[in-house]
Structure 1
């Protein structure tokens, strides 16, 4: 781990600091307890004295302005020829975590255990499945909290991805007289995951449209498409694009029943300009690539092997869904069609020179994606990375009882080794910075420089 605020002589004065911006040159944070003191790497931030000797209080607006100046240097410090935006699960979540617009993985797991209990006459409960496949020996329920709420409550350490990995690996060893019920339960879990990631776009609460407009303005014109990479199955980006008059190249052709064709990413839209002497063309604006590397609610595999895009509610059979469900087998699945082509496109994009990669709500818990990014950083000196999330210091955990941060041990399953690798690369001088901001709250405000002109 790294010690961030203050030098060794000042450790006795150390505050409980929540990080808001982190880079290898300067970092900023806020006192977690009263949220009224602001710090940089050297200590508390105070306003400069004015000519008349007075000194105003350093406020939140001043703090945001300082961070915005750093973000602006990253965004506009050079003219990028390639803009890539990586959206993880957190990009679909609203600040108040309203389940109508986006759910965390934990919220999905909570729904799964509750719904399986309602079907306990015909399906296995989540606890029974955990017992069968020896996941935590079946001890996945917090009995005290369950009694208080009157419904089964999962223990804090439950990890849906790890659980499904264990479950899928146990599947071949299920006794014959148990297979039907076991497989029906798995099918129900996958259906619940689909249902829990099926949201509709609402521009009042979701800022995907504002983000697309910003990325479009940053990319410029002349056919310089920006790219959105997402691990999400939902169609929030597609619906936001439609609402804001964007054209998407998502790897599907433009037939009545669109079929997957990865070559579509290389195309653009142009029109001829009437000119007596030359044949000039004009590129359509507001156009981008959408690369859904874990599949989509709208993709279905046909009996002949073709992958088509359909209405999301018309796809009901789990074995025809083109979605990489959360498990450790995600890496192996990435070599199958269409995921291999999608991951290849992602790799190709972040290998290009003069590239800006911005991530939002992506935890870097996925090893296969994280390794692609770290390798690209090591081998592409023209790649800059801005990581944004609701928490940019995930290997410290706030202890509400003791009012202090606890370090998460490297041996703990909650320890994020990929995130720590990024911090290590940042400290070695790679172009990486971290910003505490979320897609549906303040991310676009920071990226667009709104706080630079705000009055306190």
Structure 2
């Protein structure tokens, strides 16, 4: 069977595990078909066990620092839009599916924004008005599968400065509606029957040393990590003060929770278990400017009217130099440069250049950094992904695992006590 017909499930600079799907599945290690010693057929369970062993070998290296990056794919379950009565999604969606919701909801020409019904342009009409070059509609009248929401919004934001007065009100309403749909498409609540964040956090807590904090970094606006941690009674350092009205203070990441243990011979400190850093590098649905607009405060998302977010656009890199994002990105970069670090990425496509370049630079400069890249597809044509494969082949400590948070990842990362 040709190489391109094999589905790669795990690969590193030492091993490549793949399979062919069909009536008679075959399993391969470094392109050699796997056989049992007694000539019995190699089963799927045997192959999954082999993937588990290789994954465990990679992550069980007694790391002193663990960083986990959650991308958009970490919140996606069935990728179906099932809104509640207020239009809020119940589970995560891919960016393309969010774009499809924008396309469909703008078709009607009106939209209920807050308490007001506003007139809006359709997505293809905005493309025409703003001279967006790509064809966004396919031959069947649906949104083109190749539609790039980030490019589209970048073009719209740039055009905003030159909007004709006669079109301005409706165009600005449409832009606000698009952002509102993005917020509603990412504002789901944690449900233990749907999401596996609790299971993942329990597994990761077994990997970290007691005197170190687990570091979680997320590009997502949602509150799934915080909600999961709260159900477990974990303590989260998210860059906000421990006060009645939490305000952003990046120095909070440098603190830990310890207690003294009096001893005749020595003074010992015991570190509180299950304390994590959470860096939300694209903002959060729970962040808002204070009334004086001098501080960023954290509230329950139900009480936030204008959340602080970096929306998909080409100026994401520029916005990462603004507060509070600059401090968060700087902290992330410093974490990647620490000795003896394990980085796990979950559902991150490496399409965001400003993040991808930071990770690639860390891989090239931090010899003790090990990176496990996980996603639903590990054969991407993305240029940053291809560069990751190149550095892996040059014997940097990089491995790829085909798995998602809600399908097999926790099985491969964990052990039998987490598999139920």
Q: Is the contact made by 2:68 and 2:216 (CA closer than 8 Å) also made in structure 1?
A: yes
Q: What's the counterpart of residue 272 of structure 1?
A: 260
Q: What's the counterpart of residue 127 of structure 1?
A: 124
1:445 aligned to 2:418?
no
Which among 80, 97, 105 is matched to residue 115 of structure 1?
105
Q: What's the counterpart of residue 165 of structure 1?
A: 154
1:64 aligned to 2:60?
no
Correspondence 1:10-409 to 2 at 5 A? 13-14=2-3, 16-34=5-23, 36-49=25-38, 55-76=39-60, 78-95=61-78, 97=80, 99=82, 100-120=90-110, 122-136=119-133, 139-144=135-140, 146=141, 153-222=142-211, 224-276=212-264, 278-302=266-290, 303-317=292-306, 321-395=307-381
SS of the residue corresponding to residue 221 of structure 2 reads: coil
Q: Is the contact made by 2:410 and 2:419 (CA closer than 8 Å) also made in structure 1?
A: no
| TM superposition shift of 1:98 | 6.5
TM-score by length of 2: 0.92
SS of the residue corresponding to residue 177 of structure 2 reads: helix
Across the two proteins, how many residue pairs are aligned to each other?
405
Q: 1:65 to 1:189 in 2, by over 3 A?
A: same
Q: Provide the alpha-carbon RMSD of the alignment.
A: 2.0
Q: Is the contact made by 2:72 and 2:220 (CA closer than 8 Å) also made in structure 1?
A: yes
SS of the residue corresponding to residue 242 of structure 2 reads: coil
Mapped to 2, the partners of 1:38 and 1:15 lie a distance apart of 14
Mapped to 2, the partners of 1:96 and 1:111 lie a distance apart of 12
| TM superposition shift of 1:283 | 1.2
Q: What's the counterpart of residue 435 of structure 1?
A: 401
Structure 2: gaps spanning 5 or more residues: 83-89, 111-117
Q: 1:453 to 1:59 in 2, by over 3 A?
A: farther
Residues 73-98 of structure 1 show CA distances to partners (whole Å, capped at 9, x for unaligned) of 1111x211100000000000115656
Q: Is the contact made by 1:257 and 1:308 (CA closer than 8 Å) also made in structure 2?
A: yes
| TM superposition shift of 1:448 | 1.4
Q: What's the counterpart of residue 409 of structure 1?
A: none
SS of the residue corresponding to residue 290 of structure 1 reads: strand
Q: Is the contact made by 1:69 and 1:452 (CA closer than 8 Å) also made in structure 2?
A: no
Mapped to 2, the partners of 1:344 and 1:294 lie a distance apart of 13
Q: 1:272 to 1:18 in 2, by over 3 A?
A: same
Structure 1: gaps spanning 5 or more residues: 1-11, 50-54, 147-152, 396-415
Mapped to 2, the partners of 1:258 and 1:24 lie a distance apart of 45
Mapped to 2, the partners of 1:254 and 1:269 lie a distance apart of 12
Q: Is the contact made by 2:91 and 2:188 (CA closer than 8 Å) also made in structure 1?
A: yes
Mapped to 2, the partners of 1:13 and 1:335 lie a distance apart of 47
| TM superposition shift of 1:311 | 1.3
TM-score by length of 1: 0.85
Mapped to 1, the partners of 2:278 and 2:387 lie a distance apart of 27
Mapped to 2, the partners of 1:306 and 1:336 lie a distance apart of 13
Residues 121-172 of structure 1 show CA distances to partners (whole Å, capped at 9, x for unaligned) of 81111111111222235x312242x4xxxxxx20111011111111111111
Mapped to 2, the partners of 1:102 and 1:452 lie a distance apart of 23
Q: Is the contact made by 2:203 and 2:418 (CA closer than 8 Å) also made in structure 1?
A: no
Q: Is the contact made by 1:252 and 1:258 (CA closer than 8 Å) also made in structure 2?
A: yes
Q: Is the contact made by 1:445 and 1:451 (CA closer than 8 Å) also made in structure 2?
A: no
Q: 1:64 to 1:85 in 2, by over 3 A?
A: same
Mapped to 1, the partners of 2:318 and 2:74 lie a distance apart of 25
Residues 15-59 of structure 1 show CA distances to partners (whole Å, capped at 9, x for unaligned) of 61111011121111121444711122233222122xxxxx21100
